[in-house]
Amino acid sequence: MERTLYSQPAIQVLETIFELDCCHLILIRYNSFCACASQVELDVLTGEFSVLSSNIVFDCGYSLNPLIDLGQIHGGFTMGLGLLTSENITYDSDNGRCTSASTWEYKPPQSLDIPVKFDVEMLPSHGNPVGVLSSKATGEPPLACASSPFLALHAAIAAARSDAGLQGWFTLPAPATVDTILQLCGTTPDQLTI
């Protein structure tokens, strides 16, 4: 038996055939593109930050339902934002238990973590020749757009480090938690006195 997903017989170059016990599965690959620009504001005394704006342009082919695609783009971006900035999973080194099993320690994105100005534009008239009704997936690809505020945060930390007289390369680990950001900014205790 042969099963085909997103089948267009005229396009043979993009096909990948998987041999399964029950059947042949043909998957036709395609690319989904998106771009994002973000602006962040960083408090160097606390390590807290906010995403002031994020602008996304997304290629979703011919959208089957623009409102659902818009929701998927917002959701994927927010999920990626949490992944890169706040969702830090920690384990006890003695017994291996998860120590961030509640919202006291584990911080998923919340309403104030979403960009203050959040614009999404779907590219018009860029159909997918191998997709269902020329559509493209919009669930996971926008997650990659969350690298935009993460990299903007990296630039803000670099500026703070320069102001503090710290030079050279630094690594911003993901997730970029508040305490990590504060350490990277070079904030000293004497800056915290009134």
Answer yes or no: do 156 and 77 share one domain.
yes
User: What are the CA-CA distances from residue 31 to residues 4, 25, 47, 133, 138 (Å)?
Assistant: 18, 19, 37, 16, 11
pTM given for the model: 0.79
Answer yes or no: do 26 and 70 share one domain.
no
Least confident among 15-29, 35-49, 50-64, 116-130: 15-29
In which band, very low, low, confident or very high, does the pLDDT at 15 lie, cut at 50, 70 and 90? very low
Check whether 9 has a pLDDT greater than 70: no
Answer yes or no: do 123 and 79 share one domain.
yes
List helix spans (H) across 62-172.
66-85, 147-163
Query: In 89-117, which positions are buried (b, 16+ CB within 10 angstroms) versus exposed (e)?
Result: eeeeeeeeeeeeeeeeebbebeeebebee
Domain that holds residue 8: 1-30
Which of 41, 105, 121, 140 is catalytic? The answer is 140
Neighbours of 163 (CB within 10 A): 11
Number of folded domains that form the chain: 2
Check whether 26 has a pLDDT greater than 80: no
Least confident among 31-40, 50-59, 60-69, 156-165: 60-69
Answer yes or no: do 26 and 81 share one domain.
no
Check whether 138 has a pLDDT greater than 80: no
Query: Is 140 an annotated catalytic residue?
Result: yes
**125 versus 98: which is more confidently predicted?**
98
**What's the whole-number average pLDDT of the chain?**
83
Answer yes or no: do 92 and 159 share one domain.
yes
Q: Residue 159's domain is classified under what CATH number?
A: 3.30.365.10
Answer yes or no: do 96 and 2 share one domain.
no
In which band, very low, low, confident or very high, does the pLDDT at 28 lie, cut at 50, 70 and 90? low
Give residue 185's Cα distance to chain centre. Answer: 23
